[in-house]
Chain A
Amino acid sequence: MHGKSVVLRSSGTLSAAELACQVSEKDEARKESFNAEWKDLSLTSRPEEGCSHSEVDHHRKETYHQQQEAWAIIQRSPWGILRLGLLGEPLVSYHLPLPIFTPVRLSTKAERELTPTPSESVESLPVTGVCPDKKPVFEITKELPLVVQPTCPDFKKTGLRRSLSRSMSQEAQRG
């Protein structure tokens, strides 16, 4: 799903590309493994009309028009570096998350439970970042593609359910 690269063509020419990355690690000695796959680089063609310029010289009765395709690049990584830009131009790197999207004050659950005073509400906390047009996170995330959950694995052992929610097997073992 995420690990698959996709290249889209319209009438023979490239229109978009989604290039994926995969990592697979196995530690035999420690009996540990790690796998990851992600949408690494997105390359999207922008219509020529999006980048154009024209000039009109009334006195000399001359005109000029130019338009050109542009390629937008978005490159993500699990270590929080996002690169953005146009193909052929230097990319801009961001270290995520940007400060404006982090909560004003991070506290542990224990702290929150100890201090549930009304003054601790989010609205009353001082604003540290400057972002007059800040949108709530759900406004941003609702436009993202749906998260597809991994398919439900088969329960191969019929007794597995019982051993995971132990109530019966434990008593049986204790006699």
Chain B
Amino acid sequence: MTSKAPTFTQPLQSVVALEGSAATFEAHISGFPVPEVSWYRDGQVISTATLPGAQISFSDGRAKLVIPAVTADISGRYTLQATNGSGQATSTAELLVTAETEPPNFSQRLQSMTTRQGSQVRLDVRVTGIPTPVVKFYRDGAEIQSSPDFQILHEGDLYSLIIAEAYPEDSGTYSVNATNSVGRATSTAELLIQGDEEAVP
């Protein structure tokens, strides 16, 4: 068999990976004698010290680098170098690490309701999103600040507005707005408090 310089039958391809998930670079190399391969990140040799958990393999002309859990700080350019006596081949590709993001969503929306004067009213919503959305309650467009009479509670993805004792003046359009870095959502409903003439002295 005559000697042949290394060539890539399949070069590296850039990878977009979610933070915390695995990323794999793979290339196919031909050449004789079988080339020696080495990996670099931004020009630095990759080892278990510089890239903990990295798994490097090379067999049957397939060179593979597996990173089990990527983090933002290992984004960069990854280079595979294959060398034998006849020559050298290098292939470079990027690792782009993305953080989890999810726009706000209401798994439970506000519901319109009618109730009698003096009763306790509880308006519940369930909101998801990454990063955790900022959730605000509004009545007729004005933000409601939590107070003993209009208490806003937050428990996991459940956000509640509790009106200790509802009066006809509390009737109106209530809305909840959830905002994070990638989106926002608003749920709106009406609250009607019916007056009770007999109860009023």
Contact = CB atoms under 8 A, between A and B. Distances in A.
Interface residues of B, number: 84
Interface string B57-76: 00000000000111110000
B71 A135 contact: yes
A12 interface: no
B5 interface: yes
Interface in A126-175: 130-135, 137, 140-141, 143-150, 152-157, 160, 163-167, 169-170, 173-175
B11 A53 contact: yes
A74 B87 CA distance: 38
B53 A78 contact: no
Interface in B75-111: 77, 86-94, 96, 98-106, 109-111
Given A35-B186, A39-B183, A140-B99, A46 B21 contact: no
B165 to A, nearest CB: 8
B16 interface: yes
A144 B181 contact: yes
A56 B169 contact: no
Interface string A40-70: 0000001001111111111110001010001
A174 B145 CA distance: 24
A98 interface: yes
Q: Which of A38, A54, A144 has the most CB of B within 10 A?
A: A38
B40 interface: no
Interface in B126-170: 128-131, 134, 136, 138-145, 147, 149-150, 155-156, 165, 167, 169-170
B121 interface: no
A37 interface: yes
B185 A46 contact: no
Nearest to B71: A133
A40 B104 CA distance: 12
A137 B130 CA distance: 10
B102 A153 contact: no
B145 A160 contact: no
Contact of A56 (B5, B92, B104, B185): B5
Given A34-B109, A164-B139, A97 B134 contact: no
A85 B201 CA distance: 69
A146 B179 CA distance: 11
A11 B153 CA distance: 51
Nearest to A153: B141
B142 A86 contact: no
B194 interface: no
Contacts of A174: 201
B19 interface: yes
A26 B70 CA distance: 42
B66 to A, nearest CB: 14
A35 to B, nearest CB: 5
A58 to B, nearest CB: 5
9 contacts: A55-B8, A76-B102, A77-B103, A78-B183, A97-B130, A133-B70, A150-B184, A157-B140, A160-B140
The 10 A-B residue pairs with the shortest CB-CB distance in the complex, in nearest-first order: A38-B183, A38-B103, A78-B105, A57-B5, A53-B91, A36-B185, A50-B94, A31-B190, A53-B11, A55-B89
